[in-house]
Amino acid sequence: MFDTISMLVNAFGPSGRENRVAEVVTQMIKDKVDEISSDAMGNLIAVKKGSGKKIMLAAHMDEIGLIITTIDDKGFLRFGTVGGVLPLISLGQRVVFENGLTGVVWYEESIESMKDAKIDKMYIDIGAKTREQARELVEIGDMAVFEGRPVEQNGLIISKALDDRVGCAILAELARRCPATDNEIYYVFTTQEEVGLRGARTAAYAIRPDLAIAIDVTRTGDTPKSKPGAVSLGEGPAIKVKDNSVIAHPRIRERLVDCARENGIPFQFEVVDKGGTDAGSIHITAGGIPSGGVSIPTRFIHSASEIVDIKDVENAARLLEAFIKF
Ligand code: CO
Ligand code: ZN
């Protein structure tokens, strides 16, 4: 599982630029599914045919990033955000552009307090001396992502972009296992989740599944003085009850709980008031689609060093495998 996750997190893929991730996924699963295609939004949709229910499993390929807005005459890049990038968390990070160029995120040192370290007081230094030199390397509108190579340690994985390549890894592993079922399984690797759950909406409309599950990350409440939260690292995948985008369909939530209990899989309940997942757009598409979520407890979401427990990842795959077999 670590190798699968590594290959996926290493692919460059901010929102709207997911094609490299899609290529990695395609190579991983193309021999194990009956059809694989992409749509106008860039969603990658793989189908394992069946005569039973149409089940859509969705994980988003995009990661958060920075986008160049202006380049000053000394060659420093000003930027905007792609998805939920927190200014303080970005400071001092290395970022990488699609062409491999590395930059460092820094701030105007005249600011009085780190509270004022807003994105518009920050810049990316790529070591260029002039605007012209910078423009030989990057252009307005180019995107960069955090650098943060994957590390396996004490049964945990530390990496950038685990949100939501860990979900992509679970779907890819599941597709490769080819679970025996009469149901028709749609493995959907979605785009532009971080900017508004966009890809999942068109994919769900085109597929019109009987039900859907989004696989994504959820924050934990188990670090020093963290915001209270019920979910901890290593205590099992979280079955979504509610987030800010969806209230999970009760029958899907109950079915997930039953599958976990029947198979001795530990689980937790996810009830959060911030953040959303692809289920948020899927469940209100095409006349309404019963939807739920399986979430991987994750520390430091949207940083260059997100942390998951590999047991939670493996148990999420087991849970989904049991779920799609009914
Ligand atoms: Co996210
Ligand atoms: Zn996510």
pLDDT tens by residue, 272-293: 999 899 999 999 999 999 999 9
Ligand found nearest the CA of 165: 2
Q: Calculate the average pLDDT of the chain.
A: 97
Q: Which of 140, 107, 109 is nearest to 123 (CA)?
A: 107
Ligand found nearest the CA of 279: 2
Q: Hey, what's the torsion of the CAs at 39, 59, 323, 311, to 10 degrees?
A: 150
Q: Which of 98, 121, 146 is the last residue of a domain?
A: 146
Same domain, 21 and 7: yes
Domain membership of residue 202 (yes or no) is yes
Same domain, 102 and 246: no
Is-contact 240 272, C-beta < 8 A? Answer: no
Same domain, 46 and 102: no
- pTM for this model (two decimals): 0.97
Distance separating alpha carbons of residues 107 and 125, to the nearest angstrom: 10
Q: Tell me how far CA of residue 219 lies from CA of 100, 184, 233, in angstroms.
A: 30, 31, 9
Give me ligand 1 centre to Cα 212, in Å. 19
Same domain, 113 and 229: no
Kindly state the percentage of the chain with pLDDT values over 90: 94
Q: What is the pLDDT of residue 227?
A: 86
Give me ligand 1 centre to Cα 163, in Å. 5
Same domain, 52 and 136: no
Q: What is the pLDDT of residue 179?
A: 87
Q: Are strands 94-97 and 77-82 parallel, antiparallel or unpaired?
A: unpaired
Q: What is the per-residue pLDDT across 179-220, written as a single tens digit (0 to 9) for each?
A: 899 999 999 999 999 999 999 999 999 999 999 999 999 999
Q: What is the pLDDT of residue 245?
A: 96
Give me ligand 1 centre to Cα 107, in Å. 24
Same domain, 180 and 221: yes
Same domain, 25 and 70: no
Same domain, 84 and 222: no
Residues tagged active-site: 193
Give me ligand 1 centre to Cα 186, in Å. 22
Same domain, 76 and 191: no
Q: What is the pLDDT of residue 131?
A: 97
Residue 34 has pLDDT above 80, yes or no: yes
* CATH number of the domain within which 109 lies: 2.40.30.40
Whose tokens are 């920075």? That residue is 66
Domain membership of residue 95 (yes or no) is yes
For residue 288, how many other CB atoms are within 10 A of its CB? 10
Q: What is the per-residue pLDDT across 153-189, written as a single tens digit (0 to 9) for each?
A: 999 999 999 999 999 999 999 999 988 999 999 999 9
309 DSSP β-pair partners:
156
Distance separating alpha carbons of residues 62 and 216, to the nearest angstrom: 12
Give me ligand 2 centre to Cα 301, in Å. 9
240 DSSP β-pair partners:
270
Structural domain for 240, as ranges: 2-63+160-324
145 DSSP β-pair partners:
96
How many domains does the chain contain in total?
2
Give me ligand 2 centre to Cα 193, in Å. 7
Same domain, 200 and 259: yes
Indicate if the alpha-carbon torsion angle 125, 126, 131, 137 is positive or negative.
negative
Same domain, 91 and 235: no
Ion ligand 2: residue ranges with CB closer than 5 A: 163-164, 216
Ligand found nearest the CA of 65: 1
Mark out the alpha helices in 136-177 (DSSP H runs): 162-177
Same domain, 87 and 199: no
